Amino acid sequence: MRTVYVNGDYVPEYQARVSVFDRGFLFADGVYEVTSVLGGKLLDFNGHAARLERSLGELGMSSPLSRDELLAIHRELTRLNEIDEGLVYLQITRGAADRDFAYPEGSSPTVVLFTQKKQLADNPIAERGMSVLTIPDQRWGRRDIKTVQLLYASMGKMMAKAAGADDAWMVEDGQITEGTSNNAYIVKDGKIVTRQLGTEILHGITRAAVLRFAREAQMEVEERPFTVAEAQTADEAFITSASSFVMPVVRIDNVTLGDGAPGRVSRRLREIYLDESLRAAI
Ligand code: PMP
């Protein structure tokens, strides 16, 4: 039985309630963050908190809780639910109001947090590498805002599953934007290529950390779009996200990369990311 946080209270999950008039439910009018826990500590909490503030700001919402209050709730839930390895999910919606497309005035935000135990560091896919299916990117145009409007990502995961792939990479105007729930990278001649930040992709917190570590390790990084064909002729590919860290990609549609095993750069970046983020975990 988990304890969840709802609007100021820590309650057993079966007692947690949100209104049917909540705009998160009616309009997907809400934002979220997922922070990983390793060894009972939060990875990159400040990065997630900063992106949350930005997402809220883009939707004209102000944060109902300070960063310190949010950190305290994350820590308390991790403790109460005895999370050694797993995730803390946080969602803030505009709150409940009579149904109207225009934002209501004076609604109070709904704040929900819960945890999930999950084995993250020891992931067998990191050893064998994953396969991705390319699909058209049919999401809305403000992918830089981390909203709970995730239906196309779910559809993409289902398309991948139906095709026997582990995940999908989305393509727009001939270029890969990102994965359904992760950022996408290729490696060619030792150079790491990933799409530049903009409204077309989510500004991954793991992406920011991995690019910083790569540059610190004197690896060359180029932030620009790349095509499916370029990805299929790359030496390596990988994805990043808060819950998968760095995960090698070994197959794109029907093309196997290199010798079909996780590449050297991807494996090295996973190691560095795990070491460095564990060191800085709070
Ligand atoms: N892109 C999308 C569409 C995502 O949903 C996610 C994960 N939420 C990411 C990228 C990776 O972001 P992060 O590294 O902050 O988890």
Tell me the C-alpha distance between 282 and 260, whole Å: 36
pLDDT of residue 210: 98
Q: For 122-180, how does the pLDDT look when each residue is reduced to its tens digit (9 = 90+)?
A: 999 999 999 999 999 999 999 999 999 999 999 999 999 999 999 999 999 999 999 99
- Angle between helix 45-58 and helix 205-216 axes, rounded to 10 deg: 130
Parallel/antiparallel/unpaired status of strands 86-93 and 167-172: unpaired
Q: Are residues 189 and 86 in the same domain?
A: no
Q: Are residues 132 and 271 in the same domain?
A: yes
DSSP 103: P
Domain of residue 166, residue span: 125-280
pLDDT of residue 147: 98
Tell me the C-alpha distance between 96 and 19, whole Å: 6
Domain endpoint, select from 84, 117, 150:
117
Domain endpoint, select from 65, 83, 117:
117
Q: Residue whose CA is closest, atom 2 of ligand 1?
A: 181
| CATH number assigned to the domain comprising residue 56 | 3.30.470.10
Tell me the C-alpha distance between 186 and 188, whole Å: 7
Catalytically annotated residue among 41, 117, 118, 146: 146
| CATH number assigned to the domain comprising residue 203 | 3.20.10.10
Q: Are residues 97 and 181 in the same domain?
A: no
Domain endpoint, select from 97, 117, 137:
117
Given the CA of residue 207, which atom of ligand 1 is nearest to it?
Answer: 14
Q: For 232-271, how does the pLDDT look when each residue is reduced to its tens digit (9 = 90+)?
A: 999 999 999 999 999 999 999 999 999 999 999 999 999 9
The yes-or-no answer on residue 146 being catalytic is yes
Q: How many domains does the chain have?
A: 2
Q: For 32-67, how does the pLDDT look when each residue is reduced to its tens digit (9 = 90+)?
A: 999 999 999 999 999 999 999 999 999 999 889 999
In one-letter notation, the amino acid at residue 135 is I
Q: Are residues 41 and 62 in the same domain?
A: yes
**Chain mean position to CA 256:** 25
pTM over 0.95: yes
| C-alpha 209 – ligand 1 centre gap (Å) | 13
| C-alpha 144 – ligand 1 centre gap (Å) | 10
Q: Are residues 97 and 225 in the same domain?
A: no
